[in-house]
A and B are shown apart, each in its own frame.
Chain A
Amino acid sequence: MKIIMRLLAFFWKELHEIRRQPGLILSLILGPFVILMLFGLGYTGQHPPLRVDLVIPKSLENDSRIQQVEKIVQNHFVLINTYNDETPALRDLKAGNIDVIESLPSDLILNLQAQESTSIKFVYDTVDPQKAQYIQYISYIQLEEINNAILITTISGIQQNASQFNQQISALLDNLDAISSSLTVDNIQKTQASLQILVNTLDMLTSNPAYDSLLSLLEGQNPGYAQQIQQLIQDLNTLNDAIKNGTVDQQKQLIQTLIQRLTTLKNDTQQIQNISPTVVIAPVKETYNNLRGDPVDLIIFYTPGVFALILQHIAVSLGALSLVRERERGSLEFFGVAPISMLQVLIGKYLAYLLFLGIIVAVLMSMLVFLLHLPFLGSLSVFLLFTLLFSVASVGIGFLISVISRSENQAIQASMLVLLLTVFFSGFLIPLEYFRQTYNYIGYVVPMTQGNIGFIDILLRGEPPAQLQVIILGIIAAVTFLLVVIIWSRQFRRLNP
């Protein structure tokens, strides 16, 4: 009975002390809550649009294709100015009026016509590695779009020529039919002429930048298509040589084979005319299926983490000030004389703080569920048990700070360090996967790392926390309790340890 009364002594004392300090409660709960709420409301998670000056050399100024490029640029950047040379653009960049200069080369069209690659220059001025990466990423996306536009234009051109190509094949097929039945000079000459036209067209086709895209598409329907085209070109050349050498009469078998190949090609050419250019350049498209349905809102996603962070911060702060304050005030000397054991003092304090945290959890969770509409998909009992474990671990960290601190100031500083460590290494703001594996373990010393994952599982997924989270929190709670007992037993009733 006496033990219970002694435990309750600390329990009530701590509660009275806490409730008599409304400023402390406000700063502990509302302070972080308001800051994080402002963060949640203000943070969009999106980069601001990049401002660009576009440099178009005078030689390209009136080209209609450049106007198309200009439109694509505006899809990705905010176009501020267009200049003919880089000098004024560089001035804008240095003045901070723009983020990037996009400079088109003067030989852009010529190179494209010559089917040679060319490059567009992006100039920026930043020390921010994330911004530099973002500029490069947006530039890359924009160039992909430009390249695709060029491919679509080219493929459309091929399709426009496909009917002409088809006519050339038909003419050759007619002539081949003619020479296969009668080898007159006239027939041979007509065949040779139409054959030469087709060979030229095929040469042009195979050297076209879009040829590979077209080929891969046709390969899907007819495997070995590239080989067949090469074989066709070779057969046409053989027939051409035979005509030139006057040995066409020996190539009747080849003429029959050519008639078959050309008939197939004619049908395929017909198909090419019907294929959409966008299918040619991007034959595969993505579809998404999130088994959870729609992902939650960004603010809601961060809310379990905010809840865990506030809870941990309050628990650590209360614990950190608790024992060191008793020592500084001299109360420890008073307890030393009283018939109470160190464990009774400690357990009494644990109970008091856990109850106080329980009240905060009730208030905070009600605010989050009813005001911010935080989903509560998991089991209430699992949530309460996990919260209890999380709170014991957090109070334990606070008590550990308290027994190793020499003054309240030191304890406050150490609590702030724990908060800083939590912000950077708990995975709350920066995902843990972004760190090297070894550095991930730093976050293991703060309960928040496991608490964040566990509370997301319980609240947003409706699942119990993983065993790992429970085990690590259990280890933190047990180790901190043992260390506090060991260190404090050297201070309790020992004014000169």
Chain B
Amino acid sequence: MVNTSNDEKVAELIQATHEYIPGVGVFDLDLEVHNSSIFGLIGPSGCGKTTIVRLLLGLLKPDHGMVRVLNTESTKLSGRLREKLGYLPQHFVLYPNLSVVENLRFVSSLYGYSVSKRKHNIDEIIELVELGEARKRLAKDLSGGMKRRLELAAALLHDPELVFADEPTTGIDPILRSKLWSYFRDFRDRGKALFITTQYVGEANFCDVVGVMSTGRLLHVDTPANLYRRALGGEVIVISVDISDIEETADILNKDRRIHKIDKVAGDPGSLHLTVDNSGEMIPYLAELFSKKPDIILQKINRYEPPFDEIFPLLVRKQEAKPQ
């Protein structure tokens, strides 16, 4: 299990399986969520992300295995423990005929807040999600992005320890998406834990730990950097020289055993991708090496991080290639 912080475990799945009908569901899941971290669950639509969220929230019971949240079986969470959870569902579930403030008052009252404390919390959270101007507007009159922010406010209103957000960024524009991730990071930085599902695999980079899902199974759970390493077989350095020097450069590099693989870059004939164990060590070494070869002019050398959208299929393919 990956633990990016030294803090405590707030949620875990241990060999958990939940089948809706034979062959359809989620199977043999193992993962841990720690506080002060963002756990991102990525995978295509329909792969079982929401089912995992519902298992963690105790809305579904595992057929096998164990699901624990805040050190308690998820289906047996007491009211006091539930007060420490926040939930941002995939779809808008608040009340369209209530205003922003009325919706938040309702949620606040569900958590038992007194009128005076409620007012303070609501003002603060409305400020945070930038809904101040729309506070009296009915939820049905809000834009999609505003509705999402309202739900986020509802999930964070009671200052929970652990928030589950099911595809919070689906269907919203990149600017708002960036804002939401900013909220999430702030939340994480205050020592809280977030469990976020997303079908935008590129968002895995924003997470501390990422679970990669496909067809009901967790293929990998690791940090984004380690997932890169797993997908690419190491770290990748991109090196660029004059096109006329490319063959000579490749010959020189081929002699170094620390470079596992050299690939030409499609569409850029003067560049090569080098797969190494530790790019931090290799980049200064190579820079010095080529400085001693005056006939080859090194135009560029740095670490290459491809978008996660490219990494995800690699990870799935690698897992599928493994013998069962």
Contacts and interface: CB of A to CB of B under 8 A. Distances in A.
A271 B313 CA distance: 124
Contact of A330 (B75, B82, B89, B107): B89
B57 A16 contact: no
Interface string A1-14: 11101101100110
B83 interface: yes
B82 A338 contact: yes
The interface residues of chain A, by DSSP majority, are classed as: helix
Interface residues of A, number: 29
B293 interface: no
B20 interface: yes
A336 B59 contact: yes
A331 interface: yes
Contacts of B106: 9, 12-13
A190 interface: no
B109 A5 contact: yes
Contact of A13 (B54, B82, B95): B95
Nearest to A332: B93
B79 interface: yes
A5 B89 contact: no
Interface residues of B, number: 33
Interface string B40-63: 000000000000001001111100
Given A5-B109, A9-B106, A16 B98 contact: yes
B112 A339 contact: yes
A16 B97 contact: yes
B142 to A, nearest CB: 15
B111 interface: yes
A329 interface: yes
B15 to A, nearest CB: 20
A335 interface: yes
B217 to A, nearest CB: 20
Nearest to B103: A13
Closest 9 CB pairs of A and B: A2-B112, A9-B109, A339-B79, A339-B82, A330-B93, A20-B97, A337-B87, A338-B110, A13-B106
26 contacts: A1-B112, A1-B114, A3-B112, A5-B109, A13-B102, A16-B97, A17-B95, A330-B89, A330-B91, A331-B95, A333-B89, A334-B89, A334-B93, A336-B57, A336-B59, A337-B57, A337-B59, A337-B164, A338-B110, A339-B80, A339-B82, A339-B83, A340-B79, A340-B110, A493-B59, A494-B59
Interface of B: 20, 54, 57-61, 75, 79-80, 82-83, 85, 87, 89, 91, 93-95, 97-98, 102, 105-107, 109-114, 138, 164
